[in-house]
């Protein structure tokens, strides 16, 4: 079993839709949860960063962490064609030397 | 502020040849990471440096991969000899003391 599981997609939605992206994990030591966006042929770019459980909102993006279920989500409201990319969840823990463990990424396409 | 720089952007070699990648982190970032991202997968940490010292190289295939960061600034990752399964994108990232890692554009390696 992988430490971090993520549905690879592809996920195709119409413009304006609400998108839900999810990851599950098995290591209860993870405390820091991140979402990265990766455009084709580019490096990952940090979107959201959350510590422990709870919600965090930034513009059209909301990150949720449920440590009791070992489940994290990223919601994108009013999705735009420019949101078309691969979304990677990543996690780390204190004492882990800042090492990130990534999911496989979900490919998202927002269509006009 | 300039981002993480990597070169070359693309490299094609034949198996058993050697190849080297270069990374220049964001100015002032003490921590530097090399990741391997195989097509359809999330990045996997190969090696992490704190200044010019190695923090974690547990997933680096040391029989063929080597990396150095001699002056605590830029870094070189080398593969010798290359295998077909080394075809991937090699990403460099850097960070200050926080969890936030900033990624470069990557070097796409194809081994024939």
Over the stretch A12-54, which tens digit does the pLDDT of each residue have?
A: 999 999 999 999 999 999 999 999 999 999 999 999 999 888 8
Size of the A and B interface in Cβ pairs below 8 Å:
55
pLDDT of res. A95:
75
Cβ of A12: how many Cβ atoms within 10 Å? 12
- Judge whether residue B1 has pLDDT over 80: no
| pLDDT tens readout for residues A52-87 | 888 999 999 999 999 999 999 999 999 999 999 999
pLDDT of res. A54:
87
The answer to whether residue A14 neighbours chain B at the CB level (below 8 Å) is no
Which contacts qualify for B6-11: CB closer than 8 Å, 24 or more apart? Answer: B6/B90, B6/B91, B6/B92, B6/B104, B6/B105, B6/B106, B6/B107, B7/B107, B8/B107, B9/B105, B9/B106, B9/B107, B9/B108, B10/B107, B10/B108, B10/B110, B11/B107, B11/B108, B11/B109, B11/B110
Point out which residues pair with A32 in neighbouring strands: A51, A92
Q: How far is B49 from chain A (nearest CA, A)?
A: 10
**Average pLDDT of chain B?**
94
pLDDT of res. B57:
95
pLDDT of res. A2:
82
**Average pLDDT of chain A?**
93
pLDDT of res. A97:
72
| pLDDT tens readout for residues B19-43 | 999 999 999 999 999 999 999 899 9
pLDDT of res. A93:
86
The arithmetic mean of pLDDT across residues B94-110, rounded, is: 90
Contact A103 B45 (CB under 8 A): no
CB neighbours of B97 closer than 8 A, spacing ≥ 6? B30, B31
Q: Which of A34, A56, A54 is nearest to A45 (CA)?
A: A34
Chain A residue nearest residue B59, CA to CA: A99
Give the percent of chain B with pLDDT over 70. Answer: 96
Query: Which tokens belong to B24?
Result: 């220049």
pLDDT of res. A99:
87
Q: How far is B73 from chain A (nearest CA, A)?
A: 18
Which run of H or of E encompasses A46? strand A45-51
Distance separating alpha carbons of residues B94 and B27, to the nearest angstrom = 9
Contact A43 B100 (CB under 8 A): no
- Judge whether residue B98 has pLDDT over 80: no
pLDDT of res. A107:
96
The answer to whether residue B45 neighbours chain A at the CB level (below 8 Å) is yes
Rounded to the nearest 10 degrees, how much is the dihedral formed by the CA atoms of A26, A29, A35, A37? -70
pLDDT of res. B52:
87
The answer to whether residue B48 neighbours chain A at the CB level (below 8 Å) is yes
Query: Which tokens belong to A47?
Result: 């979107």
pLDDT of res. A94:
78
Q: How far is A43 from chain B (nearest CA, A)?
A: 4
CB neighbours of B18 closer than 8 A, spacing ≥ 6? B78, B79, B80, B81, B82
Contact B48 A46 (CB under 8 A): no
The arithmetic mean of pLDDT across residues B48-73, rounded, is: 93
């Amino acid at each position: 079993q992988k430490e971090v599981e993520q549905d690879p997609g592809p996920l195709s939605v119409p413009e304006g839709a609400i998108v839900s992206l999810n990851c599950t994990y098995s290591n209860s030591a993870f405390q820091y949860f991140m979402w990265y966006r990766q455009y084709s042929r580019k490096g990952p770019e940090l979107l959201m960063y959350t510590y422990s459980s709870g919600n965090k909102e930034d513009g059209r993006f909301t990150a949720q962490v449920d440590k009791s279920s070992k489940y994290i989500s990223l919601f994108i409201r009013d999705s735009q064609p420019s949101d078309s990319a691969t979304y990677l969840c990543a996690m780390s823990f204190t004492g882990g030397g800042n090492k990130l463990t990534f999911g496989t990424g979900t490919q998202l396409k927002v269509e006009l | 502020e300039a981002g993480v720089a990597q070169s070359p952007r693309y490299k094609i070699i034949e198996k058993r040849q050697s190849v080297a990648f270069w990374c220049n982190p964001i100015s002032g970032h003490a921590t530097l990471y090399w990741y391997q991202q195989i097509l359809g997968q999330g990045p996997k940490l190969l090696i992490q440096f704190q200044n010019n010292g190695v923090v974690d190289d547990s997933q680096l295939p040391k029989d063929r991969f080597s990396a150095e960061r001699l002056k605590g600034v830029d870094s070189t990752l080398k593969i010798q000899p290359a295998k077909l399964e080394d075809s991937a994108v090699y990403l460099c990232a850097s960070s200050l003391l926080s969890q936030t890692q900033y990624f470069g554009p990557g070097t796409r390696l194809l081994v024939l």
